[in-house]
Amino acid sequence: MKLAYWMYAGPAHIGTLRIASSFKDVHAIMHAPLGDDYFNVMRSMLEREREFTPVTASIVDRKVLGRGSQDKVVTNIVRKDQEEAPSLIVLTPTCTSAILQEDLQNFVARAQEQAKADVILADANHYRFNELTAAEKTFHQIVSHYIDKLKEMPPRSERPSANILGMSTLGFHNSHDCKELKRLLADLGVEVNLVAPEGCSVNDLKDLPRAWFNVVPYRELGRQTAEYLQEKCDQPFVDITPMGVMQTAKFIRAIQKILNGKSVAADFEPFIKEQTLHVSQATWFARSIDCQNLQGKRAVVYGDNTHAAAMTRILTKEIGAHVVWAGTYCKYDGDWFRNEVQGLCDEVIISDDHTYIGDRIAQAEPSAIFGTQMERHIGKRLDIPCGVISSPIHIQNFPVGYRPFLGYEGTNQIADLVYNSFTLGMEDHLLEVFGGHDTKEVLTKTLTASSELNWDEAASKELGKIPGFVRGKVKRNTEKYARDTGASTITLEVMYAAKEAVGA
């Protein structure tokens, strides 16, 4: 047993559901007890999704525990098949099914006989996979399910084209990144053949081999699929994350190399120069005089592999900050991370224990943190500003406005994020030196200045419990009510009566 308050990566089934619900026409059926369909709430709230999340549960209850699921799972699959007519149904095991050890594969086989949709069992054991590794695995599983079926590969597209692999629902700024990548590829004269899994139909997966090559922007998702496609369809892939000016250039050069290898005469150097000088402001911004302040500023970076590694490189190489330590919670892929950030920071930390991360931040005393929502809160407690660069994230990290982290527009966004984090820190520091904001209490907003009203102890205590932002209003309304009714002391009774009368 492990004492835990917080986890960076969710359980395996979340990964499977993220893949399943990213596809357009896939329905996932969880084999789970009541209440485990919390994924639907997350998708509906965080992504502000307009469609019903295509995930239902085949409920495991006391009866199932006693006699096994029997026909329940099969019935639920067949029913969903009729109601929603999806192309694929993914039976998703949970921690509960992992220990019940029912023969889910058998349910799938039985359901397949009656269902029009394809039915598969996600192969993601709760005790061996986490959200990220399960997503990787399920994506590969679905793609290979459809590619393995092909009798012959479709021909390559006439013009250079690429698949973008690894865009998914609830991914950090994925929809913006996807748009930016499409734009970048279009600028390079590369057609986008297919984006998967987000927004893709499983029936279109058969067209994956048409692309000349694959793009895998994130380390955590799509790589296994890209490797599979490389072997199966002889498709090379680019697995450089185009985040930051240098990596974006490297990404473009890798594409150039692939195209040149297929005897397309492409020279992207002028494009890289033009974009770096004029479209991206990041290079100039870093050079400009007011960014001199950032030179040598101490920062710590923590997040998933992709974002923490890219951010560390940007801070050190493109901004001139000093990364005291860089860390990742992707322990299963720690060697890759260590390798990526070697020489870019003083120390590498590979841990998914948030209290340890908190302690290390406190010890490092950086001027800014770049991390997940957890580090943002650690920063709040320590009074250190934090820019959020990676999942796990909250609703404010699903902005409506255009906020890619990848490509040339991404470099602008990151420049703002970095600069704002550090200036806020500087401003705070100056405020402290000069005695802070004008904190004199504004008395005119309440009646307290001229008030002769007494609040008895219980009532004052109660008032103190009311959230700060409405407390003033409650106080005013209650005192007004007390005056109107001629009460000289405000007791709990008077408070509640005021609430009943005037909604104070």
Partner 1 sequence: MVPESTTLSSPTFECETGNYHTFCPISCVAWLYQKIEDSFFLVIGTKTCGYFLQNALGVMIFAEPRYAMAELEEGDVNAKLNAYDELRRLCLQVKKDRNPSVFVWIGTCTTEIIKMDLEGIAPKLEDEIGVPIVVARANGLDYAFTQGEDTVLAAMASRCPKPQPQKSEEEKKSALRSLFQLGGKKPAEAPVETVDHKPLVLFGSLTDPVVNQLTLELKRQGITVSGWLPAPRYAELPVIEEGVTYVAGVNPFLSRTASALQRRMRCNLITAPFPIGPDGTRAWIEAICRDLGVVPKGLEEREQQIWDALKEDMDFLKGKSVFFMGDNLLEVSMARFLIRCGMIVHEVGIPYMDKRYQQGELDLLDKTCQQMGHTPVRIVEKPDNYNQIQRIYEVKPDLVITGMAHANPLEARGINTKWSVEFTFAMIHGFTNAHDVLKMVRKPLDRNTSLKSLGWEKLIQEV
Q: Which residues in this chain contact partner 1 in the complex, by CB under 8 A?
A: 1-7, 10-11, 13-14, 32-38, 40-42, 44-45, 48-53, 56-57, 59-62, 65, 76, 83, 94-96, 98-100, 126-127, 130, 374, 377, 380, 392, 394, 456-458, 462, 465, 489, 491-493, 496, 499-501, 503
Among candidate residues 148, 290, 335, 438, the one labeled active-site is 290
Phi, psi of 292, deg, nearest 5:
-55, -35
| Cross-strand pairs, 194 | 163
| CA atoms lying within 13 Å on the CB side of residue 151 | 0
Smallest distance, partner 1 to C-beta of residue 385, A: 16
CA distance 480 to 42: 43
Residue among 84 and 207 whose Cβ is closer to partner 1: 84
For partner 1, which is the closer residue by CB, 97 or 275? 97
Spatial neighbors of 487 by CB under 8 A, at least 6 apart, are: 494
The least distance separating partner 1 from the CB of residue 89, rounded to whole angstroms, comes to 15
For residue 65, the one-letter residue type is L
Q: Residue 187 or residue 353: which is nearer to partner 1 going by CB?
A: 353
Taking the complex as a whole, the smallest distance from the CB of residue 52 to partner 1 amounts, in Å, to: 5
Which residues are registered as beta bridge partners of 196?
165
> Judged by CB, which is closer to partner 1: 134, or 200?
134
Specify the residue, 4 or 431, whose C-beta has the smaller distance to partner 1: 4
Separation CA 360–CA 348 (nearest Å): 11
Containing 213, the helix (H) or strand (E) segment is strand 213-215
Of 210 and 475, nearer to partner 1 (C-beta) is 475
Neighbours of 298 (CB within 10 A): 15
Tell me if residue 290 is catalytic: yes
CB 239 within 8 A of CB 154: no
Q: What is the DSSP letter of 151?
A: S
Distance of CA 465 to the CA centre of its chain: 34
59-92 as b/e: b if 16+ CB within 10 A = bbeeebeeeebeebbbebbbebbeeeebbbbbbb
CB 86 within 8 A of CB 80: yes
Q: Which is nearer to partner 1, 394 or 445 (CB)?
A: 394
Give φ, ψ of 193 to 5 degrees. -75, -50
Instruction: Work out how close the CB of 267 gets to partner 1 at its nearest, in angstroms, rounded to a whole number.
Output: 42
Nearer to partner 1 (CB atom), residue 95 or residue 279: 95
Q: Residue type for 166, please?
A: G
Burial of 480 (0-12, 13-18, 19+ CB in 10 A): middle
CA distance linking residue 213 with residue 264, whole number of Å: 13
Compute the least distance from the CB of residue 182 to partner 1, in Å: 21
Q: Is 109 helix (H, G, I), strand (E, B) or coil?
A: helix
Other beta carbons less than 10 A from residue 216's beta carbon = 22
Phi and psi (nearest 5°) for 37? -85, 30
User: Which of 93, 165, 89 lies closest to 123 in space, CA to CA?
Assistant: 93
Smallest distance from the beta carbon of 339 to partner 1, in angstroms? 28
DSSP code string of 359-373: HHHHHH--SEEEE-H
Catalytic residues: 290
